[in-house]
Amino acid sequence: MELAPEINLGILNGWVLLVFFYAVFGILLLSFPKDVVTRLYDRTAWSKRQKTLSAIGKLFILSWFALVILTPLNIGHVVFVLGGVIYLLGLLGFVLSLLNFKDTPLDQPVTKGLYRVSRNPQQVSILLSYLGISIAIGSWLAVILITIGAFMSHIRVIAEERSCLQQYGVSYRQYLEQVPRYFLFF
């Protein structure tokens, strides 16, 4: 692992893992009913402050994207294998959480599958995949950027939980009391 890895646009850069991740995501979204996709991206209950802070957090993620796209994968190194395993675990969690989301009736909060152990398995899984990519390219700078992005995405999570409280009321309040926000942490 290096703080700032060699930048070089190439065929075997971190973008390969990003393209695969978003291809899987896109295929899933295309197979979902339109109302499920609308529910997935509903930001109507977000405050202006939450929207602004979320946008600032996305700047760190965009910086991370640029670094990943321009950094070669460390194929043949231990960090590539470790990063690949973490990436695949995150991708699997993301797919499962999206399927759990899709299979929940629109008038109910999502509480089945991975949502039984985390209120935000999509967010956790995305960040896990991004961390895996950061390790696979061997970049501490990528790890730092994604860590900052993760802290900023906490604002997004708070906004989504507030929206769910408004939409689902008591049933979501009970869910909040029973299930941790990020798998291990209440």
CA distance 92 to 155: 24
The string of pLDDT tens digits covering residues 155-176 is: 888 888 888 888 888 888 999 8
Closest listed residue to residue 146, CA positions, set 157, 159, 135? 135
The string of pLDDT tens digits covering residues 31-85 is: 999 998 888 888 777 788 888 888 888 888 899 999 999 999 988 899 999 999 9
Residue 139 has pLDDT above 80, yes or no: yes
pTM score, two decimals? 0.89
- Specify the residue for token string 């997004």: 156
Closest listed residue to residue 57, CA positions, set 154, 143, 182? 154
CA distance 112 to 120: 12
**CA 148 distance to own-chain centroid:** 13
**pLDDT band for position 153 (50/70/90)?**
confident
Instruction: For the chain, give every domain's residue range.
Output: 15-24+46-178
**pLDDT band for position 149 (50/70/90)?**
confident
CA distance 104 to 123: 18
